[in-house]
Amino acid sequence: MRALALALLVLASPAAATAPPLPLDTIAAGCSGGVTGGGTVMRILADGRLVRLTLGRAGTTPRIDQLGFDLALYQRLAQALDEGGFNRLQGGPPGNITCWLERVWATGRGWRVQWAGTEPPATWPDEVRAAFAALRGA
C-alpha cells in the first residue's frame, strides 16, 4: 500500500507531468472557396513536419494528414520569404477562390497575405511566388 501511495505521488508531481510541446515557427499556404467552400492548406513547421489540412465543404471538420518531415524544405521556404521581403507584402481582397500565404513565429506574431485566385500576384518577388508554389506542391 505504501509503495502504491508513493508511486501515485510521483506520478502526480509536476516533474512527472508531460509538458506541452514548444511552439514552432510555421509557414502555411492554402486556397479555399468556390462552390463548396472547401479547400486545402499545406503547413510546414520549423522542425520540418509537413501537414495537409483538407476541408471538403465549408462547415465540415477538416481532415489532417501528416506527410512526414522535410527540414530542408522548411529552411528553403523560410530563406525565400526572408529574401523576398514577405512580411512587407500587401494582399488583396478575397475572391470566389481565395489563396493565402502566412508565416507565424513561435512568439505568436506573424504575417498573412491573401489574394483572389490561385496564383500569387505577378508583382510579388519571385522568391515568394516560388515559396507558395513549392509548399502547395509538397
d(CA 45, CA 106): 10
Would residue 49 count as lying in a domain?
Answer: yes
Would residue 7 count as lying in a domain?
Answer: no
Q: What is the pTM of this model?
A: 0.79
pLDDT tens per residue across span 65-119: 999 999 999 999 999 999 999 999 988 888 889 999 999 988 888 899 999 989 9
Would residue 16 count as lying in a domain?
Answer: no
- Residue 79 sits at φ, ψ, to 5 deg, of -65, -45
Would residue 44 count as lying in a domain?
Answer: yes
Task: Supply the pLDDT for residue 1.
Answer: 38
What residue numbers bound the domain in which 88 lies?
Answer: 22-136
Total number of domains constituting the chain: 1
Cβ neighbour number for residue 80 with a 10 Å cutoff: 21
The CATH number of residue 50's host domain is 3.30.1560.10
Would residue 114 count as lying in a domain?
Answer: yes
C-alpha cell, 39: 479547400
Would residue 4 count as lying in a domain?
Answer: no
